[in-house]
Structure 1
Amino acid sequence: MQSPWEKYDQVLHYYWQSFRESAGVDARNQAGVLANIGVIYQLKKDNTNAISYLNKARSRFAALNEPMGLVICDNDLGETYSRMKQYDRAETSVQRALQAATQLGYTPGIISSLLSLGEIRLQTGRADESFQFFNKGLPLVEALKQQQGRLRVYKGLATAHAQTGDYANAYQFQSRWVALKDSVFNEKNTKKIAGVQAEYESEKKQAEIELLKKDQRVAQLWRNAVGAGLLAALIIAALVVSRQRLKIRNDQILLTQGKVVAEKNQQLETQTHLLENQAVVLTTQARQLQELDEAKTRFFTNVTHEFRTPLTLIIGTLSEKLHLMAENEETIIRRAEVSVMYRNAERLLHLITQLLDLSKLESGRLNLHRQTDDIKPLLNGVVSLFSSLAGQRHIRLSVQLSPESLSVSHDADQLEKVVTNLLANAFKFTPDGGEITVQATPVQLDGHGFVQVTVDDTGPGIAPEQADLVFERFYQGEASRADRQPGTGVGLSLVKEIIELHQGTIRIDSEPGAGARFVVRLPFVASDTSDKTVASLVLPRPRQTDRFFLAASPNHLPVAPPLIQGHDKRPLLLLVEDNDDVRTFLRDLMQPIYRVLESANGRQGLQLAQDYLPDLIISDWMMPDMDGIDLCYHIKIDEATSHIPFILLTALSSQDKRLTGLQTGADEYLTKPFDARELLIRSQNLIATRRQLHERFSRDIRIQPKDITVTSADEKFLARVMAIVEVNLGNADFTAEQFGQEVGLSRMQLHRKLVVLTGVAASDFIRLMRLKRAAQLLEGRTGSVSEIAYSVGFNSLSYFAKCFREQFGMLPTDYQGKTSAPV
């Protein structure tokens, strides 16, 4: 049997033959052959030759302007560099391939690049960054039905979730990988066994044909011998000898072929044994997975039950306090605080109830208490619960129900959960001023009657490739993440399973940018009663006196202008937090000390930071549109905002997350729940540190940028502006406007930046630099007072003396007379 290395050498021989034959005739073929040679060396694990030939092929594709060839070469180079653990080179090659494949619309190339980038991040300990690549690649491999691609995605996501501590999702994707791997393994082995059996049958038939041909030739010789007479006796003798020899040779051939067949049978038995062992292993793994799943279900059930008891006590106590509090000015603030606690306790109880329902569904213990009845009253009742939220956000909420009976065999409590989840999902995605419509009508499909309930919204819609994925447990789509709060990925999964328990179906009809429609169909059951009243209404906007209402979406927070007017000298704080209640708590905590700007997401917060240059930013990590890490990164790389102290708040308390936040440039990192006093102290310390640096800059004559800056970006910026002023010290006409032009910032941006870093405005900064240089020259006695004044850009000696005295407490002549200058 030929070894793999011999096969590779044989393939290389044919490739080189093709390369020589196409020389000077087909340049594209030569480039492709070189790329294939590189791949063969890659398979032979000869990485040096693989890189050499892939680079040669890439150069030829570049000269021929063949982008698809460049994509293939760059992806192969990235894979080879990864094997050599040269991850920087690997990422450069794969990023280049991804950019070219995207421009070309070459989906297989895009998939290969995305998966390679995700794997590189796993190999370099950046699991949290790998999700964006695997999640982008998942719908693509699913659409193309790439088995190997799906295996890579599932394995990558399982590893990434495990490394980040999300073991529920890690288990989910590991299970998918095992299932797909088994199906691929079984398919390959089935084909291999069939091939071996076919080869065995073919060889067996060939041996029988050869033996039959030999016997036929011998019989013909005998017939000729009989007709030949006496002379045939000699021939017969010769034939007898020949036949004996032929028989011996045939026996040897049959013996050899019998050995081959025996070897084939042995191989078949070995493979069968391997398959049996594999089946035993798979059975054991399946049993272990089932036991793990049952343990997980028991854990969720026990934990949710344990949570419900204290939550019930908390909600009951808060509800009682709300009812006992009088509505007057003295208690209005306390009522607001208690309402926040009550609302969030209710939300936590709702999430726990959903988890409990899921555990019951998994264990088969969620029993439906069915009743056959018209569901129109139920629909009207659930929709009315959302009227307050609709009015608050100016959303037109309407319900249109058929006048015919909509009789369904259903569990009212479970069906109410379905409609509530669908409406909550619609409100989450629909912008202020949008529209949500609930409709219910009878339909006929394939001779069967159904009641069809639809929920339409005018949100951003759902991409077609995500239409089925949104019903998977813990799945959260990427396409519309900018337009909503992050969720748990539990609600729609629970909806689908409850609908299927009712023998119904649910689907999504949606296109990106055109809103989403959820369509639920439940079997129609004839009822003795029929409601003939047309149930179509538009719910009124709620009165302002409504006591309780759902919280508004934080993505639609109206941002008030900052308190810059007047003589308010408090520092300006930018607060970026997507949760309404947490943001309100932080605002109330910080307002006595700071003027507060508010933002509900990172992108809006970045714009406010660039517009107002606050003295401090406090931001959450997990937010829609742009998270806190991205916000911090953009703040710190922008020269206009890099000086702003940044405090990152997050519920992610692991050490790797903390290091990620600090490496991005955050000055402080606090985990939720945090101590309010600690947040106040840390924020005041950051502001105080800035003020101390301002005093030092104003006081010291000889000062280096590194002595009064916190970050390297600020140090570089200050060194650059000081160098610009040094060059223009002798130019008396050098103004703040020219200063800003040379720095590359507007006059106002430069003014705010210098005030934060040094405590002085741009024009004062120029004058202070002139005075400090004059003090150094006076100390060194390099000229007369008038010569030094003119050399540093002062046209008036009296003005120079006045400014010098204000800064150093003495006249220039007295300063020059001192033996040493103050430091």
Structure 2
Amino acid sequence: LTLINGPLEAIQEEDIPEAKKKKYISVIVENTKRLLELTGQLLDFQKIGANKLSMKFESVDITALLKGIVARFEVTFNLNNKELILILLEEEVWAAVDKEAITKIVSNLLNNALKYATKHIQVELEKDEFYFTIRVISDGNKIPEEVSQYIFEPFYQMEKGEMPKNGVGIGLSLARSLASLHKGTLSLDTTYEKENVFVLTVPLNKGGISLQNSKVVQKDIVELDEETSVETDMHGYTLLLVEDNESMLTFISERLRESFTVETAKNGAEAIEVLKSSHVDLIISDIMMPVMNGYQLCKEVKSDLELSHIPVIFLTAKNDIDSKINGLKYGAEAYVEKPFSFGYLKEQVLSLLNNRRREREAFSKRPFFSVDNMQMNKADEEFMNKVIRIIEDNLTDDNFGVEKMADILCMSRSSLLRKIKTIFNLSPLDFIRLIRLKKAAEYIQEGKYRIGDICYMVGINSPSYFSKLFLKQFGMTPKDFEKQYQSGRQAVVPQDIRNTDVINDADK
């Protein structure tokens, strides 16, 4: 914190040369990373103590993993005039492990070597029938044999004369705990005379994995090209940011305003007042707040028919699994953990808004895309299906409109207008017309009625106007739509069955 605060104070001074400012900022960035890393270790340590750290075992190429870890450290070692050597087997080594946990163990050992080694560090990978072993060998002050076990205890630190660098004393303890969760071991081999040698041994667990020609299976990889990348200037959308920490509120809102229109509130109660007076497309809320917390705010929003369609993102330091489950129970659409990447938060917002937009377009342009296929909460889904049933019950009434529908629903005209507009981006009149056209598409697909009759069945009294509306909505005329479905049916129905149908129709 001192190494973050010090450069910040220096930057605040006037007439700082640009080169020096960049140097200060790089110091801040590096020490912020270090602070986040330390915080992560403390949280992992706490989870292990509470038996709440879950491991995700998967088939991992240990050879490739080790190469990647060492490559990330090489530049830093070179800058510190220290040599880092990696010795691997000729064959690949595969094992069932938690990839992130093994990365943390090896990274801790390399961080220690970086701090305490004099010149040379060597990383070796070996395996036998049942285990793989990673050794990290470094020169420098030899750790006395009598303290070789204590160094793995939480918060243990050696005397300054023995180990000259500062530390917290949690890294090796965490690393050993992660090794134990793999049913493996992490120890200091004291048989070496001059070097410090840390030995990690982990079962291959061949029975728990299946290898397919030693190929790495890639999963959950998404590449955004120019065609699929999302629009980043979306000032037409309004976000509500709810955060009681004023500095955090100011920082996040300023960044969001680069792309969106932003309203702010310092607790849930203030947020409710904003929602009553302003149109909001998405809410980003902290959880721990005075007056009304994030859970209570989310519950209020999702239980209010006029607000329940608004997506909620929780932005919070409460990152344990119980808090995430609670957030989903209250109806939140996403959960972003502090400390967070602003880029990730922005992409999460864009993803939710763009998914909503694509669903609206699909509902409008695809005749058989239903409300049930849209990502909306249960209350909104039930309400909109009720609205559609009411429209369908009044299809033949060409005078059926917004007032009549609002009366049946016991809602004000303005509330109904706002609800349909926010969910489908349509006026109630346009929505009624869309449902008429969707029902017409169903009748055409059934093949029981003539198109000239269908337009009257859905409350449109002009066949030419009906054809024009249908073409504009679905991109083809009713006749072309009918031909498409008739050809589709003929393609899958055998000749003898079609003849039977003709006979049956003639008999009727």
- TM superposition score normalised by structure 2: 0.50
Which residue identity is paired with 1:580? E
Aligned to 2:418: 752
Structure-1 separation of matches of 2:251 and 2:486: 55
In the TM superposition, 1:580-599 aligns within 5 A as: 580-599=246-265
Which residue identity is paired with 2:11? K
Aligned to 1:318: 8
Structure-1 separation of matches of 2:246 and 2:425: 34
CA contact (8 A) 1:750 1:762 kept: yes
* SS of residue in 1 equivalent to 2:418: helix
Structure-2 separation of matches of 1:758 and 1:821: 32
Match for residue 666 of structure 1 among 323, 332, 336: 332
Structure-2 separation of matches of 1:646 and 1:669: 9
CA contact (8 A) 1:708 1:757 kept: no
* SS of residue in 2 equivalent to 1:661: helix
Structure-1 separation of matches of 2:360 and 2:310: 14
Which has more radius of gyration?
A: 1
Residues 103-155 of structure 1: per-residue CA shift (max 9 Å, x gap): xxxxxxxxxxxxxxxxxxxxxxxxxxxxxxxxxxxxxxxxxxxxxxxxxxxxx
Match for residue 629 of structure 1 among 286, 295, 308: 295
Aligned to 2:481: 815
Which residue identity is paired with 2:450? S
More divergent stretch after superposition (587-596 vs 779-788): 779-788
Equivalent residues, number:
278
Structure 2 CA distance for partners of 1:644 and 1:324, relative to 1, 3 Å: same
Matched, 1:675 2:341: yes
Q: CA deviation at 1:568?
A: 7.8
Q: CA deviation at 1:765?
A: 1.0
Structure 2 CA distance for partners of 1:587 and 1:722, relative to 1, 3 Å: same
Structure 2 CA distance for partners of 1:818 and 1:661, relative to 1, 3 Å: closer
Structure-2 separation of matches of 1:598 and 1:690: 23
Structure-1 separation of matches of 2:435 and 2:422: 17
Which residue identity is paired with 1:699? K
Residues 493-520 of structure 1: per-residue CA shift (max 9 Å, x gap): xxxxxxxxxxxxxxxxxxxxxxxxxxxx
Structure 2 CA distance for partners of 1:314 and 1:740, relative to 1, 3 Å: same
Q: CA deviation at 1:807?
A: 1.6
Structure-1 separation of matches of 2:488 and 2:367: 8
Structure-1 separation of matches of 2:352 and 2:15: 40
CA contact (8 A) 2:244 2:267 kept: yes
Aligned to 1:684: 350
Match for residue 469 of structure 2 among 803, 816, 822: 803
Residues 508-548 of structure 1: per-residue CA shift (max 9 Å, x gap): xxxxxxxxxxxxxxxxxxxxxxxxxxxxxxxxxxxxxxxxx
Q: CA deviation at 1:725?
A: 1.1
Residues 212-244 of structure 1: per-residue CA shift (max 9 Å, x gap): xxxxxxxxxxxxxxxxxxxxxxxxxxxxxxxxx
Q: CA deviation at 1:817?
A: 4.2
> RCO greater where, 1 or 2, for CA within 8 Å and sep 6 or more?
2
Which residue identity is paired with 2:405? F
Aligned to 1:653: 319
Structure-1 separation of matches of 2:258 and 2:421: 23
Structure-2 separation of matches of 1:764 and 1:693: 17
Structure-2 separation of matches of 1:762 and 1:795: 20
**Percent identity over paired residues:** 36
Structure 2 CA distance for partners of 1:576 and 1:746, relative to 1, 3 Å: farther
* SS of residue in 2 equivalent to 1:575: strand
Q: CA deviation at 1:631?
A: 0.2
Q: Mark the runs of 5 or more structure 1 residues left unpaired by the alignment.
A: 1-309, 346-566
Structure 2 CA distance for partners of 1:613 and 1:822, relative to 1, 3 Å: farther
Structure-1 separation of matches of 2:253 and 2:472: 40
CA contact (8 A) 1:601 1:625 kept: yes
Match for residue 608 of structure 1 among 231, 254, 274: 274
Structure-1 separation of matches of 2:300 and 2:487: 43
Which residue identity is paired with 1:747? R
Match for residue 435 of structure 2 among 765, 769, 781: 769
* SS of residue in 2 equivalent to 1:574: strand
Q: CA deviation at 1:575?
A: 0.9
Q: Mark the runs of 5 or more structure 2 residues left unpaired by the alignment.
A: 33-232, 490-508
**Backbone CA RMSD of aligned residues:** 2.9
Q: CA deviation at 1:778?
A: 2.3
Q: CA deviation at 1:748?
A: 3.6
Structure-2 separation of matches of 1:745 and 1:574: 26
Aligned to 1:63: none
In the TM superposition, 1:217-616 aligns within 5 A as: 310-311=1-2, 313-324=3-14, 570-616=236-282
* SS of residue in 2 equivalent to 1:648: strand
Q: CA deviation at 1:716?
A: 1.1
Structure-2 separation of matches of 1:770 and 1:321: 64
* SS of residue in 1 equivalent to 2:397: coil
Which residue identity is paired with 1:805? L
Aligned to 1:505: none
Structure-1 separation of matches of 2:443 and 2:385: 21
Structure 2 CA distance for partners of 1:818 and 1:650, relative to 1, 3 Å: closer
* SS of residue in 1 equivalent to 2:302: helix
Structure-1 separation of matches of 2:487 and 2:313: 40
Structure 2 CA distance for partners of 1:745 and 1:674, relative to 1, 3 Å: farther
* SS of residue in 2 equivalent to 1:760: coil
Q: CA deviation at 1:590?
A: 1.2
* SS of residue in 2 equivalent to 1:706: helix
CA contact (8 A) 2:242 2:268 kept: yes
Q: CA deviation at 1:325?
A: 5.0
Q: CA deviation at 1:648?
A: 0.8
Match for residue 788 of structure 1 among 437, 450, 454: 454
